[in-house]
Structure 1
Amino acid sequence: MAWPWRRKSRRKMARVVLDGPITGATRLRVLKALREVGEREFPALLLRIDSPGGTVGDSQEIHAALMRLRDKGCKVVASFGNISASGGVYVGVAAETIVANPGTITGSIGVILRGNDLSRVFERIGIRFDTVKSGPFKDILSPDRPLSDAERALLQELIDSSYDQFVGVVADGRGMSREAVKGFADGRVFSGAQAKELGLVDELGDEEHARRLAARLAELDEELRPVTLGKSRRKLTSLLPGSQLIQQLQNRLCIELMGSGQVLWLYRP
């Protein structure tokens, strides 16, 4: 049942920002903000995404929360910033409408899992591991040995399952067939302009364009300014010279740490 918007005194728009790699911390912050959107019964949500993606489960939980808001009648418009790739796309397709800048980096629909085979390094420096395990696959992706053929086949099945989930959600969210999505869901990236031609985004424009579109969809005043929820806590380092560079380095380190042994929906340039 849709919320009775016209009986509500609050005729406002919410804004939630998803920026940086999608991690557990990102999920907690964004989900808290989305719960507030529901509790305060905002008729429209402007979702700003500037993310290369990240962990699978966290992306899925944010997507599910957005779908619950839509089921209650909230109009959700996504605005893709500099980058909205992989898991960022997964989250974005939960929106009713997607707006991207012409030069936005998007796409990278696919799954990646990386491990590190350091066995030769360990051998050179004289380090050897003794492992006791309950089954043949318990230490899969262990850094002290290469993958066996059986392990590689097992992990490929895992990747294929995750990829199938990704394709299905994009197909449903964009009203496309799975075959059409698979035609471009091979990990490649696109500009916003290319993504529009493929049907991955609806309109080209900046966040202001997306805000006005959300207002029209919810029948709000187009001059209405959104209420930003779930702001990231400002750290002391943000006051230092070069703070943006520090943040970029932190994000890069986060991506590298995520990249070992986890199934990821992540664009890795």
Structure 2
Amino acid sequence: MFKKILKLFLMIAFVVLVPFAGLYLWLLAPQWEWTKEPNRIGVVEIQGLLSDARPVLESLSDFRRDPYVRALVLRVESPGGGVGASQEVYREVRRTAMEKPVVASFGGIAASGGYYAAAAATYIIANPGTLTGSIGVVAHLPNLQGLFDKVGYRTVTIKSGQFKDVGNPGRPLTDDEMALLQETIEGMHGQFIRDVAEGRRLSPDQIRAISDGRVLSGEKALDLKLVDALGNFQDAVNKAKELGGIAGEPRLVYAEKKRRGLLRLLLGATGLKVLDQVLDPVLCPVRYELVLGH
């Protein structure tokens, strides 16, 4: 009797577990690497507004430590983003470029913070019509006093210092607050100019002359030495192959995209992107970003 029960149990387990095991192996097998060769090019993408630098930093760090990755391609499709995030990526790109070639590939737009983040790359390739440059800082501070007056909304602010509620949307900025913010913006602008000059091996004066926020085409950026060549993503891959000393056909390895939990399940990738675009200006009003109008 016991043998019959055991046999039945094993049959059920076989019927149930084998299909699941097969599916599991089928899904994971492409990610398993039975043999590794030092012919890999790591691809890291910066897409949309750059607000959270951590995924990009982790990917750059992982590829830098991987002995089988000989070079990296940094694909940029971004109008910019937060000051801190842009600077974090710039620093990590610079650190990586000191150990392995990093070729930046600009898509349709790689402006302001998007350009800043890539400025330390070993080599930069843009399309002739890429929107790039826009070296400058912008701060959006809403003034809702007129709206508040219409609806009868009032706030009482208790603060510990003169500038503690700078940007309060319920009132206009004072002259002193405007001067303070302008000073802060100019300081961040100077950081932008300094880092781009260092990354591109140009003088600060050369960068300062074109750092008034102007938008440049990839073709014009080449004339100004902000990029090294014109071309597409495949041209960037070929350059990475050359600089990395890869013989034969390189293998592209894309950075793993981290899951974003319940919000991604509820909103989907598009909905999450829209949510980021709505919330990001509110949470981070000072930014390196190309603004062409709304």
TM-score normalised according to structure 1 size: 0.87
Aligned with 1:75 (options 101, 125, 129): 101
Partners of 1:21 and 1:251 within 8 A in 2: no
SS in 2 for 1:167: helix
Aligned with 1:45 (options 61, 65, 72): 72
The Cα RMSD (Å) is 2.1
Alpha-carbon distance, 1:258 to partner: 2.7
Aligned to 1:199: 225
Partners of 1:111 and 1:264 within 8 A in 2: yes
Determine if the alignment matches structure 1 residue 264 to structure 2 residue 287: yes
Aligned with 1:30 (options 51, 56, 61): 56
Task: Kindly report which structure 2 residues correspond to 1:12-23, keeping only aligned pairs within 5 A, or say none.
Answer: 12-23=40-51
Q: Which runs of 4+ in 1 moved over 4 A?
A: 232-238, 249-253
Determine if the alignment matches structure 1 residue 158 to structure 2 residue 184: yes
Quick one: percent identity of the two aligned structures? 40
Alpha-carbon distance, 1:262 to partner: 2.2
Aligned to 2:172: 146
Write the letter of the residue equivalent to 2:211.
A
Which protein has greater RCO, CA pairs closer than 8 Å, 6+ apart? 1
Question: Can you give the 5+ residue segments of structure 2 that lack an aligned partner in the other structure?
Answer: 1-35
TM-score normalised according to structure 2 size: 0.80
Distance 2:79 2:116 in 1: 11
SS in 1 for 2:139: coil
Question: Can you give the 5+ residue segments of structure 1 that lack an aligned partner in the other structure?
Answer: 1-7
Task: Kindly report which structure 2 residues correspond to 1:98-109, keeping only aligned pairs within 5 A, or say none.
Answer: 98-109=124-135
Determine if the alignment matches structure 1 residue 10 to structure 2 residue 38: yes
Partners of 2:93 and 2:118 within 8 A in 1: no
Distance 2:132 2:273 in 1: 18
Q: How many residues align?
A: 252
Change (3 A) 1:102 1:266: same
Write the letter of the residue equivalent to 1:257.
L
Aligned to 2:155: 129
Alpha-carbon distance, 1:63 to partner: 1.2
Structure 1 or 2: more helix by fraction: 2
Determine if the alignment matches structure 1 residue 111 to structure 2 residue 111: no
**CA deviation vs aligned residue, 1:180-208 (integer Å, no higher than 9, x gap):** 11111111111111111111110000000
Aligned to 2:193: 167
Q: Which has the larger radius of gyration?
A: 2
